A and B are shown apart, each in its own frame.
Chain A
Amino acid sequence: MSQFDFLQPKSRQIEIEQFDDRILTYVLEREQSFLTCISCGGCTATCSAGNLTSFNVRKIGLSLRRGNINDLSDEVQKCMFCGKCTLVCPRDINIRNVVLLIKKGIAQLETEKTL
């Protein structure tokens, strides 16, 4: 019944206190085009990894903007860096770079505790 997940939505409350914008800032400083995302979902539709497992690229953008680093770090592991998302993006966002920056930012946060 995974097709009908949307009928039992998870909580849509956004907890402002848990908003951690360090990764968002790190990414935006280096890839400003991310600001222009319209959440069209084209990236998710074409994603190679999304074809193999439940991987939602659009949700990465959402988690990033909600400062939800835990979800972000789990999801972003699934990316195979094939580049199709960047090719189809109607806003010409360099999504591949966004994922690279997220991975790098999270790794740096873990080792150096600071960005």
Chain B
Amino acid sequence: MVLTFRCIKWIVGLSKFDKIRLFKSIRSRRLFQSIKETFMEALLHRKIFRKNPVLGYMHMSLAFGWFLLIVVGHLETMIAEHSLFVPFHKAVFFRYYEGFDEFFLSGLFSFLMDFLLLFVLSGLMFAIVKRFRKKLFGLRRTTHLKSGDKIALTSLWLIFPLRLLAESTSAAVYHNGGFLTSGVGAAIDFIGNPAIFYYPLWMAYSLSLGFFFVALPNSRYMHIPTEVVFIFLRVAGIRLKKQNDSYTDVQVFSCSRCGICLDKCQLSVAGIDDSQSVYLLKNIRNKNLSDEKLFNCLMCGRCQVDCPVGIETIELRTVQRIESTREYNSSYDYLIQEVATKADVVYFAGCMTHLTPRVISSMKKIFATAEEDVWFMDEVKAPCCGRPLMLAGQYEAARKLIENNSRMILDSGAHTLVVSCPICYKVFKEDYKLPDVEVVFHAQYIYDLIHSGKLSVDTSNQRMVYHDPCELGRGMGMYETPRKLLGRIGEVVHMKDEKEYAFCCGGSLGNLKISEDKRKLLRDQALVTYEGFSPDILVTACPKCKKTFAAGRKLKVFDLAEIVAGAICVDSLSKEKEILEKQEADCYAVEGL
């Protein structure tokens, strides 16, 4: 009853548009998609299986096994009673109330029910072992449990052994058991008179079952019904907003505390083990989220990739950061509107790229060689793109920077905006409204230049390891383009942990609390792995990653723009040299030197 009430409260709490989306999806084909996903993930736990088969089996056997026990049990009762409507308690405790006489297919049902019970018990065995010997399951750490969870867990773990014992006692007394219950029943018979154990065992079984359901709404097992609601809402197209609402709650309560996100989080290498996603969600539920934990996350996205429920951990954290910083968003009144230069293409280097000047000179060389009409927008000065401010939660303040930059870009009349920093790329693509302007990442832009013949590069047999920046890879889904580009020039080594499983360099602007020496531990974790492939160089597509790795002094690090600039064909160079010399001459002319 508590569950239905909660479910209704959540749906009512959705925004008007979301409610419409939800009802439309139920009436459309998406209903089947929701049901299918519920089946595949909530019952069969397909995602967990792909990550770790034993873990997947454990979750599946408990969830799917229990589900089948209920369904098959109902069928059995319906056939035995010769009626479509059977009281719920009769179906659940079938072997207590009925099952004394033979009925159609009773033998088959006895076998099936016993088999399913064995199935569930095997998963239970795994669960018990996992709690005490987690390394056997390939997990380095699992979640700490609250007392409410421990109580619910204990009653859950007791349900099936007690069911086995209770049904076995019935089997011993009434001979209505299958292969498993008859066997155990015989054992009970051997120990003593089963009739003595009969009522106590059935009582214990029903008590633990009832207790579990009472304890459920206040424990991690709330995730079971919530996850189903979540699936339906997500398939309906409902998304998280920039403030806490009903959908946030649904996601927060869908967490099963499985601990898979803990395993993936690199912060544990640095000794930080209280700010991971599972704890964030716990703190949100308990309303005791501190800034120290909220901002102590790299926002790298590794946890989100493997979450079996599909909780959007990064977006949820962003919403909490926005809520936390509402009171102190600056107004940036000092921003003035600079005059824009008319051009076809605008290049925005970004704050961090200015600290990697070789990337800028490489981009200039590339533009010149390809004879592109480019306005280097922030060559002298421009506001930050706004994303670092958003990562710090201050979305309102970031709006001011976005307005200022947007005005300049639109005034230039350009059709293309090229960026060389993935952090800028993400915000320009997702949060800026630039009609008729295509936002292109420099890897894509350069690849297009080569493809269209405006730029040609020499090949070499340089062995490169390419590091996927978090903001570009998991953040924007761009994994192949940089590899295709680099593949034109040298050899890109294939690694096991790459693309969406790639390491974070540790330089993240998403984490505002971590100390520099802890960042170095993360950096070295990645570097040691890359060194293991014996590359000639390490290539990345993000200036922050580049600065971070270069400080490690283990491998030479380059941005892909530098690699391209260094590989430009000699014949095209002479014209480019002409253009650059003219640009230099113009520069000196202006300064009167």
**Chain A residues at the B interface, C-beta cutoff of 8 Å:** 30, 33, 46, 48-49, 51-53, 77-84, 87-88, 92, 94, 96-97, 100, 103-104, 106-107, 111
26 A–B pairs (Cβ distance < 8 Å), ordered by A:
A48-B383, A48-B384, A49-B384, A52-B335, A53-B334, A77-B331, A78-B334, A80-B384, A80-B388, A81-B384, A81-B388, A81-B394, A82-B351, A82-B352, A83-B352, A83-B388, A84-B354, A84-B355, A87-B547, A88-B355, A92-B515, A94-B512, A94-B513, A97-B512, A100-B392, A104-B291
Cβ contacts B326-340/A at 8 Å (1 or 0 each): 011011101100000
- Docked CA distance A23–B117 (Å): 62
A94-B383 CB under 8 A given contacts A80-B388, A81-B392: no
Chain A residues within 8 Å of B331, by CB? 77
The 7 lowest CB-CB distance pairs between A and B, nearest first, are A92-B516, A53-B334, A82-B351, A82-B384, A77-B330, A80-B384, A107-B328
Chain B residues within 8 Å of A83, by CB? 351-352, 388, 509, 544
- Docked CA distance A94–B389 (Å): 15
B64 within 8 A of A: no
Q: Which of B472-504 contact A (CB under 8 A)?
A: none
**Chain B residues at the A interface, C-beta cutoff of 8 Å:** 291-292, 295, 325, 327-328, 330-332, 334-335, 351-352, 354-355, 381, 383-384, 386, 388-389, 391-392, 394, 401, 509, 512-517, 544, 547
Chain B residues within 8 Å of A49, by CB? 334, 384
Chain B residues within 8 Å of A107, by CB? 327-328
Nearest chain A CB to B380 CB, angstrom units? 8
Is there contact, CB below 8 Å, between B292 and A30? Answer: yes
Nearest chain B CB to A99 CB, angstrom units? 9
Chain B residues within 8 Å of A78, by CB? 330, 332, 334
Query: Within the complex, which residue of A82, A94, A97, A111 is in contact with B388, where a contact is CB–CB below 8 Å?
Result: A82
Chain A residues within 8 Å of B515, by CB? 33, 92, 94
Closest B residue to A108 by beta carbon equals: B327
Is there contact, CB below 8 Å, between A92 and B355? Answer: no
Is there contact, CB below 8 Å, between A97 and B401? Answer: no
Nearest chain A CB to B504 CB, angstrom units? 15
Is there contact, CB below 8 Å, between A46 and B355? Answer: yes
Is there contact, CB below 8 Å, between A96 and B512? Answer: yes
Given contact pairs A80-B384, A97-B513, enumerate 7 new A-B contacts (beta carbons under 8 Å).
Answer: A52-B334, A52-B381, A80-B388, A81-B388, A81-B391, A81-B392, A100-B512
- Docked CA distance A80–B335 (Å): 11
Nearest chain A CB to B242 CB, angstrom units? 17
Nearest chain A CB to B5 CB, angstrom units? 35
Of listed B332, B351, B516, residue having the most chain A CB within 10 A: B351
- Docked CA distance A107–B327 (Å): 7
- Docked CA distance A92–B247 (Å): 40
- Docked CA distance A104–B351 (Å): 24
Nearest chain A CB to B41 CB, angstrom units? 38
Chain A residues within 8 Å of B330, by CB? 77-79
Chain A residues within 8 Å of B384, by CB? 48-49, 80-82
- Docked CA distance A77–B325 (Å): 13
Query: Within the complex, which residue of B292, B328, B334, B383 is in contact with A106, where a contact is CB–CB below 8 Å?
Result: B328
Chain A residues within 8 Å of B514, by CB? 94
- Docked CA distance A51–B382 (Å): 8
Nearest chain B CB to A2 CB, angstrom units? 15
Is there contact, CB below 8 Å, between B328 and A104? Answer: yes
Query: Within the complex, which residue of A33, A84, A100, A111 is in contact with B295, where a contact is CB–CB below 8 Å?
Result: A100
Chain B residues within 8 Å of A104, by CB? 291, 325, 328
Nearest chain A CB to B361 CB, angstrom units? 18
Nearest chain B CB to A71 CB, angstrom units? 16
Chain A residues within 8 Å of B381, by CB? 51-52
Of listed B328, B517, B544, residue having the most chain A CB within 10 A: B328
Chain A residues within 8 Å of B351, by CB? 48, 82-84
- Docked CA distance A68–B352 (Å): 31
Chain B residues within 8 Å of A79, by CB? 330
- Docked CA distance A54–B59 (Å): 59
Of listed B331, B355, B512, residue having the most chain A CB within 10 A: B512
Nearest chain A CB to B345 CB, angstrom units? 23
Chain A residues within 8 Å of B401, by CB? 80
Chain A residues within 8 Å of B513, by CB? 94, 97
- Docked CA distance A51–B292 (Å): 30
Is there contact, CB below 8 Å, between A92 and B517? Answer: yes
- Docked CA distance A14–B46 (Å): 67
Chain A residues within 8 Å of B512, by CB? 94, 96-97, 100
Is there contact, CB below 8 Å, between B383 and A80? Answer: yes
Chain A residues within 8 Å of B383, by CB? 48, 52, 80
Is there contact, CB below 8 Å, between A111 and B355? Answer: no
Chain A residues within 8 Å of B325, by CB? 103-104
Nearest chain B CB to A74 CB, angstrom units? 11
Closest B residue to A53 by beta carbon equals: B334
Is there contact, CB below 8 Å, between B516 and A94? Answer: yes
Closest A residue to B350 by beta carbon equals: A82
Chain A residues within 8 Å of B354, by CB? 84
- Docked CA distance A37–B332 (Å): 27
Chain A residues within 8 Å of B335, by CB? 52
Closest B residue to A92 by beta carbon equals: B516
